[in-house]
Structure 1
């Protein structure tokens, strides 16, 4: 059930906006246009059908009457987001942000605040946390410009959600509690029930049931006071989940109370989560058939709303429970579906488990045949191992005889040389492995998932009308354009074009500008060289990677606010100094500090030097890369 509890509360919170009458942009729309917004709200409350057509009519009315089109289109974005059509939401958000530039300043800021907020959560649902945080910070800038303290508090809460879902529960809970405190200081109680639910979910996922129980009951109390049915639903099943390990009867009571509220709001995601928790409760009671029934209801509901993150929890738990009660057909089916759905490299234990379940479900003859084949394979492997061991022993014996004839001094010299070579090689291998891991992560999280979405959209084409086919093709084109942009970004990181064309200093300035735009760290570049570096592209690339690694250390470990990079040059040497104002560092350039030691070895390999020291008053760090440019 890991992450599923927290996720449902996160979806309930989403991006929360102020009341419609507080928005200046509504004054730019006619009564006719706003009437479609009211019809859409009625649709949400009273219908199971899609409410998107009403939002589309709203946009069409704004265009016809020559009103503020992005003011209407942002409502269409919310409609797509609430119906989990994330790609459509992102497409229209980009239109809104583009058209907002031509609006009055206050209207422009409102649209950018809400647009970037929606963009943040849309990318989060797609699994791109980096973009999600980037756009949430953009939304925060415009909330500050508008002086919207309520929205600023809500943004803190949503940032807390990101931390929670990255399993940094301490920071996530801190941001949520700060948001509640800020809203109370403003005399606002709205949305505090949602944030209380987020806190309860984080305590459950971080295995703190006592704290989860306190905040689950607070969620119920706040939701009743605020008449917030969605938060009340969450409060009941979160309280039930908190009781799950200690008091089955109480858990059963609270989760059952959540289901009618979820059905009354037609919140399929809440129903899916409640049934999943109820399945866990029945599992605790060893009532397999009831557990199976609730897990299957949860899985069907998750699939009905487009497989949001969280589906894997009931899939995996049902598979494990079915195996425990020897229902091997169900166990094999759902564990296989769980691993297929994960869309990532699964652990060897899970692969073995699925293999075991499939074997149990097979016929007895098949089991016997597999066992015989396994025995044959093991015998062959043992023979190969024996041959390999004999060969290794023989080689080692010969080498030992040769070593005995060498002089002691020569042995020491060769040992020293080997150690240095291994250290340099290890430094290069570690650097390459980190780069490969980064590229692999970017390809998996970005390119692979986007291509998968494009593939699924293309597979639906034969079943759509001609008009919907055109719309679907447009979506695929947009996905491919985004994928193309991501691939170009990855290629740029492999060998920055700026570095190849304009050299190390310009590439470092571009890298610093990208960091500065995130607001995470403020980097200042000082170039005291004459503009000509007598270095090969390969050496400049190595220096650039080391600068990136040192800056990333400042971001990850030093809690720094500012950093400086200074390039100096004399007749024979290039000096690069990287310093920050962080908390400092107690260690030195030793093998225990692998990252710094790797940089030291890489500099040695190109006949350079690396030094690392504390800043003044033990604040910050100062790193120096020194390279002889005449060699």
Structure 2
């Protein structure tokens, strides 16, 4: 009888110890899991905040460059139209005639149209509303009117959105490439192909201008911290885009952009 009771007590003690150990192990693993989850969430939050800062900085830098280009455009194109209107008005005051009045009317209409186009190009909300593809098409139409040479735009595949934030940066990057062509390429034609695939977007921007030495441009960029054409790759990384720039002196330039969905 005594032995039986001892065995029962021993069994209870052992069972209790095993239960406590098992419970302790469960609590320990739960604690480890919660701790790991907490640090994972914290890390993800920090990465998200870091990405948001990089995204914001990229948007600000690109917008600054866009504003700089627009200011130059206002000075040249808008300023020229305004000067012509002023000259015509002075002539009309001294010698009113139907021809001068009609010419002034046409110039004024062109001025209003140009101001509207520039305003649209700067309006981020409008670009987000109409989407990247249409915004790029509008920008190319505007460039074609200014430069007086063909800007060919071809779209392949079924279009889809990669998100408004990424599309804005992609649009500003395209503006930067096009602005570089206008300022430096001395081109007589621009060809752009936008291709939608299942999981990515491929964009090719090609001109038939004077081209440039990519190795020299990269070297100058590294030395002078330049924000020129080759620096586009740095910002493209923010939207998970890969950039490849192929150029040769007197043979034009091709810019390849590949954006994951």
Q: TM-score, normalised by structure 2?
A: 0.55
Contact 1:424 1:601 in 2 (8 A): no
Q: Is 1:626 matched up with 2:258?
A: yes
Aligned to 1:565: 192
Quote the offset at 1:490 in angstroms. Answer: 3.9
Aligned to 1:226: none
Report the Cα distance in structure 1 between the residues aligned to 2:231 and 2:54, rounded to whole angstroms.
Answer: 8
Aligned to 1:533: 160
Report the Cα distance in structure 2 between the residues aligned to 1:444 and 1:554, rounded to whole angstroms.
Answer: 19
Per-residue CA deviations over 1:64-87 (Å, capped at 9, x if unaligned) read xxxxxxxxxxxxxxxxxxxxxxxx
Aligned to 2:142: 514
Contact 1:521 1:555 in 2 (8 A): no
Query: Taking structure 1 as reference, are residues 497 and 510 closer, same or farther at Cα in structure 2, changes over 3 Å only?
Result: farther
Aligned to 1:550: 177
Matches within 5 A, 1:53-64: none
Report the Cα distance in structure 2 between the residues aligned to 1:568 and 1:423, rounded to whole angstroms.
Answer: 27
SS at match of 1:534: coil
Report the Cα distance in structure 2 between the residues aligned to 1:545 and 1:578, rounded to whole angstroms.
Answer: 14
SS at match of 2:198: coil
SS at match of 1:521: coil
Report the Cα distance in structure 2 between the residues aligned to 1:569 and 1:492, rounded to whole angstroms.
Answer: 25
Quote the offset at 1:497 in angstroms. Answer: 8.0
Contact 2:117 2:142 in 1 (8 A): no
Aligned to 1:603: 236
Query: Taking structure 1 as reference, are residues 438 and 578 closer, same or farther at Cα in structure 2, changes over 3 Å only?
Result: closer
Matches within 5 A, 1:252-331: none
Quote the offset at 1:613 in angstroms. Answer: 1.2
Q: Is 1:435 matched up with 2:66?
A: yes
Aligned to 2:119: 491
Report the Cα distance in structure 2 between the residues aligned to 1:587 and 1:525, rounded to whole angstroms.
Answer: 25
Matches within 5 A, 1:43-54: none
Which structure has the higher relative contact order (CA within 8 Å, separation 6+)? 2
Matches within 5 A, 1:94-493: 428-438=59-69, 488-493=116-121
Report the Cα distance in structure 2 between the residues aligned to 1:484 and 1:513, rounded to whole angstroms.
Answer: 16
Per-residue CA deviations over 1:591-619 (Å, capped at 9, x if unaligned) read 3542224311211112221111126x961
Per-residue CA deviations over 1:386-437 (Å, capped at 9, x if unaligned) read xxxxxxxxxxxxxxxxxxxxxxxxxxxxxxxxxx999987754432322333
Contact 1:527 1:567 in 2 (8 A): yes
Structure number, greater radius of gyration:
2
Report the Cα distance in structure 1 between the residues aligned to 2:203 and 2:166, rounded to whole angstroms.
Answer: 13
Query: Taking structure 1 as reference, are residues 503 and 427 closer, same or farther at Cα in structure 2, changes over 3 Å only?
Result: closer
Report the Cα distance in structure 1 between the residues aligned to 2:110 and 2:187, rounded to whole angstroms.
Answer: 33
SS at match of 2:143: helix
Question: Unaligned regions of 5+ residues in structure 1, if any?
Answer: 1-419, 451-479
Query: Taking structure 1 as reference, are residues 585 and 498 closer, same or farther at Cα in structure 2, changes over 3 Å only?
Result: same
Quote the offset at 1:438 in angstroms. Answer: 4.2
Aligned to 1:98: none
Q: Is 1:505 matched up with 2:136?
A: no
Report the Cα distance in structure 2 between the residues aligned to 1:426 and 1:500, rounded to whole angstroms.
Answer: 18
SS at match of 2:166: helix
Contact 1:575 1:627 in 2 (8 A): yes
Report the Cα distance in structure 2 between the residues aligned to 1:621 and 1:557, rounded to whole angstroms.
Answer: 11
Question: Unaligned regions of 5+ residues in structure 2, if any?
Answer: 1-50, 83-107
Quote the offset at 1:444 in angstroms. Answer: 8.0
Report the Cα distance in structure 1 between the residues aligned to 2:110 and 2:194, rounded to whole angstroms.
Answer: 36
Quote the offset at 1:578 in angstroms. Answer: 0.6
Superposition RMSD on alpha carbons, in Å? 4.2
Quote the offset at 1:486 in angstroms. Answer: 6.4
Report the Cα distance in structure 2 between the residues aligned to 1:486 and 1:517, rounded to whole angstroms.
Answer: 10
Report the Cα distance in structure 1 between the residues aligned to 2:232 and 2:170, rounded to whole angstroms.
Answer: 9
Query: Taking structure 1 as reference, are residues 558 and 439 closer, same or farther at Cα in structure 2, changes over 3 Å only?
Result: closer
Contact 1:554 1:580 in 2 (8 A): yes
Report the Cα distance in structure 1 between the residues aligned to 2:112 and 2:188, rounded to whole angstroms.
Answer: 34
Report the Cα distance in structure 1 between the residues aligned to 2:167 and 2:213, rounded to whole angstroms.
Answer: 30
Q: 2:208 aligns with which of 581, 584, 587?
A: 581
SS at match of 1:600: helix
Give 1 or 2: higher strand fraction: 2
Report the Cα distance in structure 1 between the residues aligned to 2:191 and 2:252, rounded to whole angstroms.
Answer: 11
